[in-house]
Every structure is written in C-alpha cells, then in structure tokens.
Amino acid sequence: MGKYIKVEGARVHNLKDIDVEIPRNKLTVITGLSGSGKSSLAFDTIYAEGQRRYIETFSAYARQFLGNLERPDVDKITGLSPVISIEQKTTNKNPRSTVGTVTEIYDFLRLLFARAGIAYSYNTGEKMVQYTTEQIIKIISEQYKNKKVIIKAPVIRSRKGHYRELFVNIRKKGYLQAQIDGKITELTPGLKLDRYKIHNIEIVIDKLIINDKNTERITNSVNTGLKEGKGVITVTEYETKNTRYFSKNLMCPSTGLSYDIPEPNSFSFNSPKGACPKCKGLGTISKTDLDKVIPDLTLSIKNGAIKPIGKDDNSLLFKQIDAILRASGLDLKTPVNKIPKDIFDKILYGSNESIVIDNASLGIKSKIELDYDGILYFLERHTKYSGSESKRITNNYFTDEICPVCEGKRLKKNPCGLNLRKKVSMNLLNLIYRNFILF
Ligand SMILES: [Zn+2]
C-alpha cells in the first residue's frame, strides 16, 4: 500500500491515456470543464476497477449471480483499497445524513457492534458481566454459604421524587420493607420522600441464611427479585454489609452500572434508543451568541441594544427590564456597557424578585413579583415554538457548538463504551463488506 492511488494509461470514454497519482487518506477534488472526463476518471475508472477487483475475490459460485464486471480501459491501477461511491446530490441537506448512513455501511456497523461487541463500564473500564438466573443462584449459594444475606430488588436509582405511589404499590405486592438511601425502612402507610432529593430505593425481597436446606427459597427469592428489579438484584451480607450486584443485563461488577442489552438501534443516533439526549443525536447544540444579540455595547436598551427585541415599544418585556434597571438606579437609557454585570445577567437570564413597577399610563405604583424569564429564554422559546420565519430570524443569534455531553459523537454514553473483539470483528467486517456490495 503506497501513499498514492496510481492510475496509468486511463482511456475510458474521452480520457486521453492519462496518468495520475491521487494521495491516499486525503480529500481530493477532481475539477474541470463539463465533458473533460471527471466522472470517467472517478466513477468509470477508479471506482469500477475497485468494484471489479472486489467481486473477483468471491467464489465462482457467487460470481455467477453477479455477472463479470468489465475491466475499465486502463493499463494499471495500484494502491487501491475497497471503494464506495456516493451519488452527487445537492438537495439533501439533512444534518442527520453522514457518509455512513447514506451508504448504509452504518447499518451494518450497528449490527456488528450490537452482536459482536464487548461492553466495558464507562465508570471503571472493567468488562461488563451478564449472568443467567441459574448462574446467579449458583454464585449466591456458593459464595454466601451459611451466611445471612438480604436479597433486594433495586427499583429507583439516583432519581428525584417523593415516590408515595411507588411505596403504595410495593406494599400492595406484599413487601414490608425497602432499603431507602442505604437504610432498611418499614413501608408505613403514607410514606414519602423529599421530592427534590436524589434517592435510591431497593425492595427487600428476602432475608435468609444461605444453605442447602433453603435451595427452593433462594431460587424463588432470586426469581422474584429479578422480576421486580427488571433483571437486577443486589445481595448484601448481613454482617459485613458488603453488597454485590447481579444482573441479567450487562453490568459493571463493581459499581452496578448497567447497560441495556445492545441492539442495532442502541448505536443509531437517529433513534431515541441511541441518540445522545442532550443534542438529540446531532452532535452539536445551538448556543446563543451574545456578540450577535448585543452587537453594540454603547447603545442603550431603549435604543435597541438588544437586537432581537429591537427598540423600546412599551411592551411588558421592556417594562420588566426597566423595573430591573430602576431597582438599581439605572434605566432603559443607560448604555449597556454602563450596566453592572450582575444586573445585566438578570436581564439575560431572568429573575423572580419582587420589584416596584411605576405604571405611568395607569397612574399607579405597584409592587409585583417579577416573573421574568430573561432575554435568552425568550429567544429560545421563539426558536422552538414559532414558525419557520421567526426561526430564521432568531437562528441568526445562535451558533452551533460541539455537544458537551457526547463531545460530538452523537451517541448516548452507554453504547459508546462497547469495544470490538478484534478477531471476530475482522471476519465480520469482511462479511459486512460483502453484504454491502451484494445488496
Ligand atoms: Zn450530544
């Protein structure tokens, strides 16, 4: 494999016996007048030869269905790797289209990762483990022999809420205790938690001593636990308080982090199953560009310093901004660069203080709770919910930034943790490549 794709003596269509060297791993553009042979070189010579060589690697049996491809009129091409070609299309500007999706190679890769991938924990880098029910029972029976344990089913992990209905439901099913934020608690009627705090809740399925006489009870409790915990149970040793996770899903053995069993859609940034929740699979997010919103800092807000809302039109929005400014001895006529940062932040990001508004037109002074969301929220709301026209206008105030959550990779965190088994991947890649060409 050289550094170049070398074409010697190309004579397809109107190419005049030309020699070219095209650098590999670079973006190369072929330009020229209409009819000068750009497509003849790219599609009818280089791509055609790549296709032909690829099909030649098939068995004679497979080739009889494909027919033999004609050799393009060229003396020699070296340095050629497998080729793909994408049609020239000018209309498709969908930001969700990539070379991978347009050529459908991405579909095969998703399948490959879902079927042959090995999952690694993004917490610890350890290989994720997965047990069958029988394995879980066997491990518990051996590891905790003659020890007292608590078998629990995790139902809430690191989520906010008061969970009153959940506790009612758990009680209805006949469970009397749950481990709430690490503490075993009786499920008394009316029990609820601080809704603004993050909680961990595990139903206590059984407390028992593990021994041979208990085999049936262990089996029943593990099965019940796996059902309630959607495939996950925890086992805590009574004396040491050591806890271990067991999961029928993919799970990190030390932290209990669990992944869903990967399926092709887990790797699709066009599916909610795989897309990064922050950027919805686009890889970029829109951020307000303050320099565009306030291009001239010497202007006052009255005179249109905040470009998207224009000059003072006596609307509620301006009255609210005026109230914020007046509370600090400023007003709408103050140039933006003379407004202290903390005051201006309120104008941008909103405020819920109670402020006195002097309503001259009504002749009254009233103290109101300022329910003001800020200019940036105003802009975002207009982009999200308005028609395309206002979207076009407000779009000017946004810039695209690489998504901070997925770093532009478009996928949710968990499937990104999957790596490939090297040996399998080579064979499968070959298989996929064949399928790709065949269909
Ligand atoms: Zn993202």
Query: Ligand 1 centroid to 119 CA: how many Å?
Result: 20
Residue 361 has pLDDT above 50, yes or no: yes
Residue 402 has pLDDT above 80, yes or no: yes
Task: Examine the domain organization and report whether 228 and 321 are in the same domain.
Answer: no
Q: What is the CATH number of the domain that holds 377?
A: 1.10.8.280
- In the listed set 60, 78, 96, which residue is the last one of a domain according to the structure? 78
Query: Ligand 1 centroid to 261 CA: how many Å?
Result: 21
Query: Ligand 1 centroid to 149 CA: how many Å?
Result: 42
Could you tell me the residue range of the domain that residue 65 belongs to?
4-78
Residue 429 has pLDDT above 50, yes or no: yes
- 405 found inside a domain: no
Query: Ligand 1 centroid to 287 CA: how many Å?
Result: 13
- 43 found inside a domain: yes
- 97 found inside a domain: no
- 429 found inside a domain: no
Task: Examine the domain organization and report whether 236 and 318 are in the same domain.
Answer: no
Lowest mean pLDDT among 180-194, 372-386, 413-427: 413-427
What is the average pLDDT across 149-161?
91
- 33 found inside a domain: yes
Lowest mean pLDDT among 261-270, 307-316, 352-361: 352-361
Residues lining ligand 1 (ion), CB within 5 A? 276, 278-279, 403, 405-406
Q: What is the CATH number of the domain that holds 162?
A: 3.30.190.20
- In the listed set 224, 248, 272, which residue is the last one of a domain according to the structure? 248
Task: Examine the domain organization and report whether 137 and 244 are in the same domain.
Answer: yes
Task: Examine the domain organization and report whether 223 and 160 are in the same domain.
Answer: yes
pTM of the model: 0.52
Query: Ligand 1 centroid to 406 CA: how many Å?
Result: 4
- 29 found inside a domain: yes
Give, in order, the Cα–Cα distances in Å from 100 to each of 70, 374, 406, 411, 432. Answer: 28, 41, 18, 14, 13
- 419 found inside a domain: no
- In the listed set 78, 95, 119, which residue is the last one of a domain according to the structure? 78
What is the average pLDDT across 378-394?
59
- Total structural domains within the chain: 3
Residue 161 has pLDDT above 80, yes or no: yes
What is the average pLDDT across 152-172?
91
Integer Cα distance of 201 and 17 in angstroms:
75
Binned at pLDDT 50, 70 and 90, residue 438 comes out as: very low
Query: Ligand 1 centroid to 389 CA: how many Å?
Result: 27
The model's pLDDT over 89-139, given as tens digits with 9 standing for 90+, comes to: 655 567 777 778 877 888 888 888 888 888 888 878 888 888 889 999 998
- 300 found inside a domain: yes
